[in-house]
Amino acid sequence: MAWPGTSVEVEQNLPESKSDFYQTPIIEKLSGQGICFSRAYSPGPLCTPSRAGILTGKTPAELHMTTPGGGGKVESSQSLAEPRVVRALPMSETTIAEVLKKQGYATAHFGKWHLGRGNPGLHGFDIHDGATANGGPGEYKDPNPKDVFGLTERGLEFMNEQATAGKPFYLQLSHYAVHEPVEALAASIVKFEKAESGSRRSNPEYAAMTWDFDTSVGMLLKRIDELQLVDQTYVVLMSDNGGPGNRRRSQNLPLAGGKGSLLEGGIRVPLFIRGPGIKPATYCQVPVTGCDLYPTFCEWAGVPNEQQMEGSSLIPLLWNQSGEFMRPHGGLLFHNPHYGRGPTQRPQSAIIAGNFKLLKNLENGRSSLFNLSLDISEKKDLSGTMPEKAAQLRKLLAKRLKDVGAQMPTKNPNYKRDRKDRR
């Protein structure tokens, strides 16, 4: 789901930060009941790295899980050889489900896993759908496109059981929507075929799939109300990477790039949280990451978090005490040493510290500096006019990559430059 992929204005006073066609009234309600993080980032620009980061609180660079595939790609047209990566979440890693399970929580994971052949049951989840990937265990059409209502119903049943037993629970619903291929209820498609198209978005099928997903969120919130669990339940909605970055019809405008890139369009995502102690209808401009969820969940559950990790507890931000929020590493690290399908999907690393972002091209070693508070579309490279800031962030990026033991691509001895490269 793209950063502007809902009908919530995720950046105050920036109309372009919400969709001009998709409608998500339930997510609007959820946002109004809690906090909207305007500068939330997925741990990586692709699904598997981000899911690993959310579950462990560690950056994908440290886990060596930086792509859904195996890495190691070496093609003569590419100047770098990709490092081989860890394809399955290691058993040595402690997940948030394992931590909460030890505290007496019932745990469940429904939907997409995509963290290798080891299923969620090996990583702390009592109930789960197995080692599913992008498509789930089968093809789902109307009346259950993308299994959007099926996996939600399994979640509702799990909540019913725990509420009846008086047991605390952790439920993770990892939806297949709004991932392609596009599938939606026929009635939802008709609804948006009749709707007036937006100038930036106009696909009725994709809008319908987004609508169906929003409906499923409403089913979840309604059941929490019915079980009278509102005052003791936190609800977190977050995307695992940005939307597709097709240049002709990008899902991410005004952000540059998209899924697979470390430009903002690939990693800046929606994040909404509601629950006890969170003031309704609030916004937060502090950069946060999916890795922050692990230590946040630990603090909610009263569990000391003794692990060293990328993430920091969001509770000071949730309780509007931003001055107490600490990020000991000095910035958010992103690392994608792989080639993708588009021109912006090249081996890259990035660091975000405050309003500034340094993006490094691993092919040629060049870096670009952006002030995201003034240049959300990353059009103006400040590395020439702010050399000291660029040097500071280059040093911080190099230190962070070294500290976490990030795998780097190597020179490709069989590289053959084409004419574009020579220019």
Give the DSSP letter string of 153-198: HHHHHHHHHHHHHT--EEEEEE--TTSSSP---HHHHHHHHSSPPP
Amino acid letter for position 351: I
Q: What pLDDT score was predicted for residue 138?
A: 52
DSSP secondary structure letters along 94-132: PPHHHHHHHTT-EEEEEE---S-SS-GGGGT-SEE--S-
Q: What pLDDT score was predicted for residue 137?
A: 55
Residue 62 and residue 111: Cα distance in Å, rounded?
25
Q: Which residue segments constitute the domains of the chain, with CATH numbers given?
A: 15-321 (3.40.720.10), 333-422 (3.30.1120.10)
Q: What pLDDT score was predicted for residue 423?
A: 35
How would residue 422 be classed by pLDDT, with cut points 50, 70 and 90?
A: very low
**Which region among 105-109, 116-120, 319-323, 405-409 has the lowest average model confidence (pLDDT)?**
319-323
How would residue 136 be classed by pLDDT, with cut points 50, 70 and 90?
A: low
Q: What pLDDT score was predicted for residue 71?
A: 82
How would residue 244 be classed by pLDDT, with cut points 50, 70 and 90?
A: confident
What does pLDDT average to over the chain?
93
Residue 420, pLDDT above cutoff 90: no
Cβ neighbour number for residue 92 with a 10 Å cutoff: 5
Q: What pLDDT score was predicted for residue 122?
A: 97
Residue 75, pLDDT above cutoff 90: no
Q: What pLDDT score was predicted for residue 419?
A: 45
How would residue 247 be classed by pLDDT, with cut points 50, 70 and 90?
A: low
Q: What pLDDT score was predicted for residue 248?
A: 62
Half-sphere exposure of 308 (CA within 13 A, CB side): 6
Residue 212 and residue 106: Cα distance in Å, rounded?
28
Q: What pLDDT score was predicted for residue 326?
A: 87
How would residue 321 be classed by pLDDT, with cut points 50, 70 and 90?
A: confident
